[in-house]
Amino acid sequence: VVCRDGCIKAVGPADVIRHQFSGATFERIIDCSGKCVLPGLVDAHTHPVWAGDRVHEFAMKLAGASYMEIHQAGGGIHFTVEHTRKATEEELFHTFKDRLERMRRAGSTLVECKSGYGLNLETELKMLRVIERAKQSMDIGISSTYCGAHSVPKGKTATEATDDIINNHLPKLKELKLSGEIHVNNIDVFCEKGVFDLDSTRRILQAGKDIGLQINFHGDELHPMKSAELGAELGARAISHLEEVSDEGITAMARAKCAAVLLPTTAYMLRLKQPQARKMLEEGVIVALGSDFNPNAYCFSMPMVMHLACVNMKMSMNEALAAATINAAYALGKSDTHGSIETGKQGDLIIINSSRWEHLIYQFGGHEALIDYVIVKGKVVYQNERCGTMSSY
């Protein structure tokens, strides 16, 4: 039972609920006989605001080019930055809205959304305004992330870019937060060899933390950088990627209750080593999942991410579901309100056309005929017309 305020009022067996609310009237009753009700999925890592796709680079990767080879040839992030700088705010909002709607149809009810394809103050703020606009106008939860340190801008050194972010970008974000124009939740840095080193990453993350942002950053993806150890030391809420994390880094994250946001799509598409999900789980790390949706990893679907996590990272289906709901909510600092079906929490739910919830993972790419309803704050935001007539099997 979800109240008008969007929060869950009661959870329990049907006969108990019927008795408890025998005198109540409801705006809508959904018959879930033979179906499963699950928490709305949480996508803990996306880059969804950009212009200019990179389908041509996918062909280059298939032919053997590495991520850094493409990056150094002026492709990768720099290609997207060029197109995003040229795009109008309206153009960016239109494509972003369409992408969020596709994520929602695949069951995501809370999505982390990063800036990071501006690399200058003007374009980063343009991206953050687009994210803020979607927060205010769309029925989907958004956790916004400032990711101005996604790459070193052309013509600048990493030190110059770091100084610009600390002296210009972050003070402006603080000012806009105080005026109520833009509310940013997290700060992100791409801590990587040839991008931002450990010292620059530390300076930016600490400066972000000082203005009230949660630390949630890219680390230990292509090279072992000791990002996990740094994140644990700084009190990071989450670190993403971690394909090259050290054993000491895993231990430090477990001790600091710093979530690991693992991105099986990225490792799959870039043919990287898979993150050590099993070792992290055994060491007690809070493991979350994200789609890493971006021009380099074009995936909207958390059910497909969960499937890849099970097959390629050897997670169980139960672990993958937790990682895509309550643990992903934890990685965004929202596990007190999102990520599970509990009284008092926000009524974000998905209803699937199967008597066994495991079909959401088992059916690889089958979610389009499987997800029957998506509900945000008790409001049906997507109803799949095909599910009424189509068996999920």
Phi, psi for 293 (deg, rounded to 5): -50, 125
* HEC secondary structure over 47-108: CCCCCCCCHHHHHHHHCCCCHHHHHHCCCCHHHHHHHHHHCCHHHHHHHHHHHHHHHHHCCE
Residue 272 to residue 282: CA distance in whole angstroms: 22
pLDDT in tens, 274-321: 999 999 999 999 999 999 999 999 999 999 999 999 999 999 999 999
Q: Say if residue 269 is in the same domain as residue 351.
A: no
Please indicate, yes or no, whether residues 11 and 146 belong to a single structural domain of this protein. no
- Per-residue pLDDT tens over the stretch 83-142: 999 999 999 999 999 999 999 999 999 999 999 999 999 999 999 999 999 999 999 999
Residue 338 forms part of a structural domain: no
Query: Does residue 227 lie in a domain region?
Result: yes
| 12 in the same domain as 154 | no
**Position 340 in a domain:** no
- On whether both 74 and 22 belong to a single domain, the answer is no
Buried b (16+ CB within 10 A) or exposed e, 274-285: bbbbeebbebeb
Give 5's contacts (C-beta < 8 A, 6+ positions apart): none
> 35 and 50: one domain?
no
Rounded Cα distance between 261 and 232, Å, is 14
* Confidence label for 76 from pLDDT (cuts 50, 70 and 90): confident
Q: For residue 119, what is the domain's CATH number?
A: 3.20.20.140
198 in the same domain as 68: yes
| Rg of the chain, C-alpha, whole Å | 21
Q: Does the residue 390 lie in any domain?
A: no
Q: Is residue 277 domain-resident?
A: yes
> Which of 219, 216, 222 has the alpha carbon at shortest distance from 329?
216
Query: Do 218 and 268 belong together in one domain?
Result: yes
Dihedral through CA 268, CA 215, CA 119, CA 211, nearest 10?
170
In a domain, 15, yes or no: yes
pLDDT tens digits, one per residue of 139-159: 999 999 999 999 999 999 999
- The answer on 273 and 191 residing in a single domain is yes
The answer for residues whose C-beta is within 8 angstroms of residue 302's C-beta and 6 or more apart is 41, 42, 43, 103, 106, 107, 108, 289, 291, 324
Instruction: Evaluate whether residue 182 is within a structural domain.
Output: yes
Share of the chain above pLDDT 70, in %: 98
Q: Identify the three-state secondary structure at position 181.
A: coil
306 lies in the same domain as 254: yes
203 vs 197: CA distance, rounded Å? 10
Q: Residue for token digits 């999505």?
A: 111
pLDDT at 386 over 80: no
Task: Give the chain's domain count.
Answer: 2
pLDDT at 391: 57
pLDDT, tens digit (0-9, with 9 covering 90-100), for 183-197: 999 999 999 999 999
Cβ atoms of residues 238 and 261 within 8 Å: yes
Are 16 and 22 in contact, with CB atoms under 8 Å apart? no
pTM here is: 0.96
- Classify residue 181: in a domain, yes or no: yes
Tell me the residue range of the domain where 353 lies: 7-39+346-383
**Widest Cα–Cα separation across the chain:** 69
The span from the CA of 145 to the CA of 183, in Å, is 9
The CA distance from 265 to 306, in Å, is 10
Same domain, 24 and 79: no
Let me know whether 59 and 15 are in one domain: no
Task: Looking at the structure, tell me whether residues 181 and 284 fall in a common domain.
Answer: yes
